[in-house]
C-alpha cells in the first residue's frame, strides 16, 4: 500500500489505507484496554508507589492541604486534579485504577502519534510491542503501564508530547507556540523537571533552524511562564520556604536528610495501618 501517489481506486481501498495507518494505535488501545479490565485493581500495592498516591488522594479529598499537611516534592497539578476526581466519583480500587489507567493509555497513544512522521506503520507496531512488553509483561518495577510510579510523571509527559506535536506542523502560528509553551508549563506544574526539559526541547530549534524558530520563541516562553507561575503561586501560598525545602523536598529547592528513606517508609506504613490505603 502506498501513502502517496495516485488516489485509491475505491472507497474500500481508502478505508484499508486509513486502517493500516492507524493499526498501531488500534492494537495498543485494544490490548491495554483488555489488560486494564484483566487487572481489575489487583495491581495496587499498599506499600508501593500506587499505595502512596492512594493515601495522598484520600487525605486531599478529606480536606487536608498539599504542602501544608501533605508533603510532596512534585507540583500541585496532578494531586489536586486527581483529588477533585476522587471527590466526584469516590476513591475505590476501580476509580483509582481508571485515574491511572486512562492517562497511561493516552500517553502511549500520544507517543505513537508523535512518531508517525518518522516511523512507518510496521516500525510503530514494533514500538507497540516494546511498550506492551515493558508495561504489561515486565517483572517487578518495570510493569507499570496501568499503575505508573507517579501519575504526575504521566500527566507531565502527556502535556510535553502534546506541546511538541503542536510545533511539528509545517508552519506553526504564534498561537500554536503560545499553547505549546502553556502545555510545557502545565507539565512543569505536574512534574517540574519534565516541564523544564519540554521547554528546552521547544526552544532547541532556535539553534538549528533560527529562521523558522525565531518567531515562536517569545510566545513559547510567555505561555510557559504564565502556566508555571500559576502553579508556583499555589505552592508558595501553601507553605513556608523552609517547609517546602525540608518537609516536602520540593524540587529543585528541596534537601534530603540521610534519614529521608527511613522516614518515608515509616509514613507509608502508618498510612496503611490507619486505613488510608
Please provide the average confidence, as pLDDT, over all residues in the chain.
81
Look at residues 139, 221, 144 and name the one whose alpha carbon lies nearest to residue 178: 221
Report pLDDT digits (tens) over 33-59. Answer: 887 777 665 656 666 777 788 889 989
pTM: 0.81
Q: What is the DSSP string of 38-72?
A: HHTTTT--TTSHHHHHHHHHHHHHTT--BTTTB--
Q: What is the pLDDT of residue 275?
A: 44
Segments forming the whole domain that contains residue 106: 17-258
Does residue 271 sit within a domain? no
Quote the cell numbers at residue 136: 504489561
Does residue 4 sit within a domain? no
Q: What is the pLDDT of residue 169?
A: 75
Does residue 218 sit within a domain? yes
Predicted confidence (pLDDT) at residue 5 exceeds the cutoff of 50: no
Q: How many CA atoms lie within 13 A of 260 on its CB side?
A: 13
- Of residues 110 and 144, which shows the higher confidence score? 110
Does residue 11 sit within a domain? no
Does residue 264 sit within a domain? no
Query: C-alpha distances in angstroms, 121 versus 114, 115, 167, 256, 274?
Result: 13, 10, 22, 46, 50
Share of the chain above pLDDT 70, in %: 79
Number of domains in the chain: 1
Predicted confidence (pLDDT) at residue 11 exceeds the cutoff of 90: no
Report pLDDT digits (tens) over 125-180. Answer: 998 988 887 776 665 554 555 567 789 999 999 999 999 998 887 777 889 999 99
Does residue 145 sit within a domain? yes
Q: What is the pLDDT of residue 3?
A: 47
Does residue 36 sit within a domain? yes
Q: What is the pLDDT of residue 1?
A: 44
Q: What is the pLDDT of residue 84?
A: 93
Amino acid at each position: 500500500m502506498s501513502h502517496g501517489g495516485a488516489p485509491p481506486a475505491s472507497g474500500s481501498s481508502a478505508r484499508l489505507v486509513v486502517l493500516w495507518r492507524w493499526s498501531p494505535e488500534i492494537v495498543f488501545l485494544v490490548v491495554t484496554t483488555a489488560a486494564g479490565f484483566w487487572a481489575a485493581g489487583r495491581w495496587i500495592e499498599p506499600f508501593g508507589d500506587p499505595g502512596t498516591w492512594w493515601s495522598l488522594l484520600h487525605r486531599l479529598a478529606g480536606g487536608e492541604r498539599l504542602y501544608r499537611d501533605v508533603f510532596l516534592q512534585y507540583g500541585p497539578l496532578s494531586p489536586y486534579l486527581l483529588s477533585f476526581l476522587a471527590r466526584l466519583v469516590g476513591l475505590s480500587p476501580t476509580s483509582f485504577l481508571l485515574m491511572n489507567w486512562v492517562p497511561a493509555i493516552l500517553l502511549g497513544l500520544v507517543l505513537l502519534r508523535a512518531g508517525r512522521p518518522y516511523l512507518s506503520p510496521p516500525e510503530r507496531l514494533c514500538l507497540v510491542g516494546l511498550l506492551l512488553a515493558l508495561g504489561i509483561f515486565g517483572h517487578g518495577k518495570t510493569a507499570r503501564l496501568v499503575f505508573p510510579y507517579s501519575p504526575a510523571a504521566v500527566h507531565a509527559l502527556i502535556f510535553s508530547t502534546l506541546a511538541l506535536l503542536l510545533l511539528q506542523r509545517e508552519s506553526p502560528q504564534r498561537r500554536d507556540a503560545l499553547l505549546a509553551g502553556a502545555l510545557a508549563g502545565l507539565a512543569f506544574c505536574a512534574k517540574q523537571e519534565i516541564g523544564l526539559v519540554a521547554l528546552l526541547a521547544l526552544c532547541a530549534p532556535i539553534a538549528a533552524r533560527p529562521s523558522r524558530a525565531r518567531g515562536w520563541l517569545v510566545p513559547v516562553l510567555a505561555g510557559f511562564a504564565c502556566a508555571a507561575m500559576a502553579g508556583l503561586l499555589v505552592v508558595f501560598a501553601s507553605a513556608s520556604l523552609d517547609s517546602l525545602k525540608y518537609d516536602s523536598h520540593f524540587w529543585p529547592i528541596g534537601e534530603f536528610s540521610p534519614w529521608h528513606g527511613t522516614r518515608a517508609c515509616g509514613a507509608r506504613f502508618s498510612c496503611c495501618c490507619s486505613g488510608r490505603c
